[in-house]
Chain A
């Protein structure tokens, strides 16, 4: 791999964690706040019989928030790159 989007000194496991984990935390908070104010049963009942239980709606809601936050984190990680195609600089060991 010649080009990297994040600064080269960051290990891959850290890069992946840095995208997934804050997104997970934010999605958890967003799910909590959203479903505190909106009961999924009330949201879904305009369509007649609700197509899923509250647990189902919470779960889907959480994963939709998580995907959204992951997308945002990936964007952040991408734009943190320099934008030029300089070869990866060897890290300084001190």
Chain B
């Protein structure tokens, strides 16, 4: 199938390809061989790939004071984000940070379209890396297509095996790196070297390795077309002033082949020479000349390709370019519009709220868990005793000694294993607390009591937690 028909067929992807669907999972998908492209946007994308992959593979190795700087330590239930330590109690902040991430994406989408897809999405970034490996091993687009059509020989087998071997090693390294963000990487690395990796960690390294290999090596544009939720709803953030990649139909049509020096305008032709380079370089296999399509990831490969052709023809660049619907229809594009302003205001408000919350948060938490086995017991002195487990969570980066007090019932006594309780920086310490009270002073079967935790050296480091004290109901004499 030649490139033009493939482009046309792919653009009507959902409706025109069902006949072969029942036959096989893969039969309906024509493999896309994106042609290598050079130009301004290709350079920007390579730069983005190098920087983002460099960050991904590098940042987990950064340590400060023996602490990994970015570590979502799942086994220890602590997230370390460049000096900030978050605990499960800080769930609110994590959710807010995720919402900020989503709003940032919305903001940039409204402003400049699918910048994310073309330059920053992991699917794009890893696919670029995999394509690069493929080109190094198999050669350019023409050689790849020829190799795939040729019968299986020793040479073909060797080339294909090398490609997949490099892909798999790269994927496994990616899987290891990924797990290294969720469990301390130095420890993980040393255990891999000594073949002492736990079953679960091995599983996740393989799982993410396989996901990388499958998504970037095999699935590629199908992830964007079938699996990406953003691809489907991004159009809701678009308006006529959003930056999109567009073919200038008015200037390009009537498309057609011509000699370089011919008077094509006299022959009724537009600037498009119908060379199909824009289709050949497209990683999702669409024809941008058919108009804006949701499969378009705005990678601008077609812009680069078309600009080179325009240069060769001696025509003005920009037949395919970043532009807006309003600019194409001759209106003045507007950058500041209600949609952009609303996203910006909400985003800034949320960032300010999170920053304020983090700056004023008390880095201390107390969980009180009642003993599950007995509701209460009577002591030799005739008092009622309840037993609690206190979880002291010192989220501060400094060691503190804490005083624990309990209030709520007259004459109540509190017994602890230690007083004051020393808790190291970022430590979660469980201690047992026994609370005793005179049953005659209990007004009801369940009374509210309050535990207070306060640092000896810092009065502002204080939290309270409520609990229930259970006892027998004693009739007044």
Contact = CB atoms under 8 A, between A and B. Distances in A.
Contacts of B22: 1, 4, 12
B222 A13 contact: yes
A12 B25 contact: yes
Contacts of B91: 36-37
| Interface range, A side | 20 to 34
B74 A9 contact: no
Given A39-B77, A53-B198, A9 B18 contact: yes
B355 to A, nearest CB: 22
B: contact size bracket: 20 to 34
A37 B26 CA distance: 42
A53 B77 CA distance: 12
A9 B15 CA distance: 6
Nearest to B182: A55
Contacts of B369: 42
Interface stretch (B51-59, B147-155, B199-207): B199-207
B225 to A, nearest CB: 8
B77 A54 contact: yes
Contact of A55 (B15, B201, B227): B201
B217 to A, nearest CB: 15
Interface of A: 1, 4, 8-14, 16-18, 21, 25, 36-37, 39, 42, 46, 53-56, 58-59, 91-94
A42 B25 CA distance: 44
A37 B88 CA distance: 7
A91 B200 contact: no
A58 B15 contact: no
A18 B222 CA distance: 12
Given A39-B88, A54-B74, A94 B15 contact: yes
A49 B194 CA distance: 27
B75 A54 contact: yes
B28 A11 contact: yes
A36 B201 CA distance: 20
A49 B121 CA distance: 43
Contacts of A14: 14, 226
B200 A92 contact: no
